[in-house]
């Protein structure tokens, strides 16, 4: 499912978000926006340690609308897609944005043979190119997988037929073997493997009314983990494990009760080896979504239940574990601006950015106020870049008034929490001898690279890129880079496979 403003793609939307009207119950003081501005002034005084910045607003035409998740490139810039807009109304685009907010459209999809409506984050591979999926279009109208260079040269790797290979691809992830793994949404959904040369293998086909398979992540053992939005023993979604050969095991079935239901954003593997994720709603203590942790053995603990008020509601995007050890995420609705948000057609607030500890202590970091103040309806995962800051997107809001039920076409924003810089590895796991790109800032003059203490040979390509290989004898742990300005560590462990 993709919720985009007042339009929803796929089969289900949150029960509390469907068919609601704009709430006009507040006084004219709130309606004019002065109440929201006052709220933001107070928030700014309380939260001097953090800085929120709207970097860019999409205009719906030349640079697209409904932006998706961001990825960091080898040049230190960020790359992403918009689900619609560009040269074709529902074609979508690929864009680049600098950390200071200069936005450049790299490619505009036609919705024809090249596909249309790209979704999910672009995946940077060790060849320096990005790989992504277009949900629709292609020769058979079931979507495509594409490769695009940092300057916008696009190549179609695969076109889905809607048959045994599935259709409507939703996401990709880079595996430790250098191949890409992803999911499709046609029918009950599939999980597939595709080489960088375009050879696709369907690893697993879901049945029994499973809908919306999330992005998968790979663990140190080589197994993949993910969620289904529906299906399972109670039809409220599952968490699953799949071997590289395609044998799938359900680790947990949500009941729709206190444990929540309908996990959409997938899961992340925490530094402690446990899984962390969110459910979008129809469960938890208040029916507005949860944050949960799950052990590899399948024991689930609900860390937090959203109330639907100032703390937010309906967390769709996946979580990210930052270099301070905390988890960060967004909610699609709710926040301090609720129940009235200038661009919110549902009357439930414009969404939030939050931080949560591994023990469940949650802090709301930012409440969106919509058009024209900032964005609204953040749905995608945050990116913690190597400069320590967080970057993300909203589906609506921003500087451009779309008119009608939707105000704004989406934004890119940054959030500084005062966290220090780090390095990031591409991929995040691999065997000894496998190629790895290290992303960072101020990497020139680096004198040492090591994997959990094991020294590695390396080459400094630029201030934002180092190339290396996993050294023999390396074990799972953080990557360390010593530079003239200090020692940098990876935000999470590099998983060494045997």
Q: Is the pLDDT of residue 402 over 80?
A: no
The CATH number that domain 424-496 falls under is 2.60.40.10
Listing DSSP states for 400-418 in one string gives S---TT-----EEEEEE-S
What is the radius of gyration, based on Cα positions, of the chain? 21
Residue 283 has pLDDT above 60, yes or no: yes
Q: What share of the chain is helix, strand, coil (3-state, %, to 5)?
A: 5, 40, 55
**CA-based max dimension of the chain:** 68
**Mean pLDDT score, 459-485:** 97
pTM, two decimals, is: 0.89
DSSP-derived 3-state class of residue 268: strand
pLDDT of residue 332: 93
Which residue matches tokens 């105000």? 407
Q: Is the peptide bond before 372 cis (omega within 30 degrees of 0)?
A: yes
**Topology alike, domains 2-416 and 424-496:** no
pLDDT tops 80 at residue 45 = no
pLDDT at 211: 61
According to DSSP, the residues that pair with 21 across neighbouring strands are: none
Min mean pLDDT across 5-14, 94-103, 112-121 is at 5-14
What single string gives the DSSP state of each residue in 56-103?
EE--SSSS-EEE---EE-TTS-EEEEEEE-TTSTTT-EEEEE-TT--E
Strands of 234-274 (E only): list them: 238-242, 248-253, 267-269
Q: Where are the domains of the chain?
A: 2-416, 424-496
pLDDT at 337: 64
The 3-class SS string of 273-329 reads CCEEEEECECCCCCCCCEEEEECCCCCEEEEEECCCCCCCECCCCCCEECCCCCEEE
Give pLDDT tens digits for 417-463. 999 999 999 999 999 999 999 999 999 999 999 999 999 999 999 99
For residue range 183-224, list pLDDT tens digits in order: 998 878 899 999 999 999 999 998 865 667 888 899 888 899
Question: 2-416 belongs to which homologous superfamily?
Answer: YVTN repeat-like/Quinoprotein amine dehydrogenase (2.130.10.10)
Residue from 412, 410, 313 nearest 20 by CA: 313
Mean pLDDT (whole number) for 485-491: 95
């Amino acid at each position: 499912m993709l919720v985009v403003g007042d339009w929803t793609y796929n089969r289900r939307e949150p029960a509390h978000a469907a068919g609601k009207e704009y709430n006009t119950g507040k006084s004219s003081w709130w309606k004019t926006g002065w109440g929201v501005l006052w709220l933001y002034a107070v928030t700014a005084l309380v939260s001097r340690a953090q800085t929120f910045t709207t970097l860019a607003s999409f205009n719906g035409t030349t640079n697209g609308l409904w932006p998706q998740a961001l990825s960091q490139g080898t040049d230190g810039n960020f790359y992403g897609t918009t689900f619609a807009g560009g040269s074709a109304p529902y074609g979508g685009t690929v864009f680049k944005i600098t950390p200071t907010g200069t936005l450049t459209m790299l490619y505009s999809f036609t919705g024809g043979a090249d596909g249309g409506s790209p979704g999910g984050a672009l995946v940077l591979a060790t060849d320096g190119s990005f790989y992504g999926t277009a949900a629709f279009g292609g020769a058979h109208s079931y979507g495509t997988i594409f490769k695009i260079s940092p300057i916008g040269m696009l190549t179609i790797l695969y076109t889905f037929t809607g048959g045994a290979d599935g259709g409507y691809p939703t996401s990709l992830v880079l595996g430790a073997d250098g191949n890409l793994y992803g999911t499709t949404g046609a029918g009950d959904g599939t999980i597939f493997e595709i080489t960088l040369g375009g050879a696709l293998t369907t690893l697993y086909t879901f049945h029994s009314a499973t809908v919306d398979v999330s992005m998968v992540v790979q663990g140190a053992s080589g197994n993949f983990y993910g969620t289904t939005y529906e299906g399972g023993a109670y039809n409220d979604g599952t968490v699953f494990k799949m071997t590289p050969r395609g044998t799938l095991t359900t680790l947990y079935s949500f009941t729709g009760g206190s444990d929540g239901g309908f996990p959409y954003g997938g899961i992340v593997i925490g530094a402690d080896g446990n899984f962390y994720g969110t459910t979008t709603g129809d469960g938890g203590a208040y029916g507005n979504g949860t944050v949960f942790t799950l052990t590899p053995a399948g024991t689930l603990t609900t860390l937090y239940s959203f109330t639907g008020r100032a703390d937010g509601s309906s967390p769709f995007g996946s979580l990210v574990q930052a270099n301070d050890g905390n988890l960060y995420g967004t909610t699609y609705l709710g926040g301090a601006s609720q129940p009235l948000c200038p661009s919110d057609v549902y009357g439930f607030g414009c969404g939030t950015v939050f931080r949560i500890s591994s023990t469940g202590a949650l802090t709301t970091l930012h409440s969106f106020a919509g058009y024209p103040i900032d964005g609204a309806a953040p749905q995608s995962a945050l990116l913690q870049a190597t400069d320590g800051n967080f970057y993300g997107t909203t589906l609506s809001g921003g500087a451009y008034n779309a008119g009608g039920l939707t105000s704004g076409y989406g934004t890119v924003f940054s959030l500084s929490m005062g966290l220090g810089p780090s390095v990031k590895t591409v991929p995040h796991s691999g065997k000894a001898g496998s190629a790895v790109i290290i992303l960072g800032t101020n990497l020139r003059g680096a004198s040492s690279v090591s994997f959990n203490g094991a020294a590695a040979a390396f080459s400094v390509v630029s201030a934002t890129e180092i190339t290396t290989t996993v050294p023999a004898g390396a074990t799972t742990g953080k990557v360390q880079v010593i530079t003239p300005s200090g020692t940098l560590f990876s935000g999470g462990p590099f998983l060494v496979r045997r």
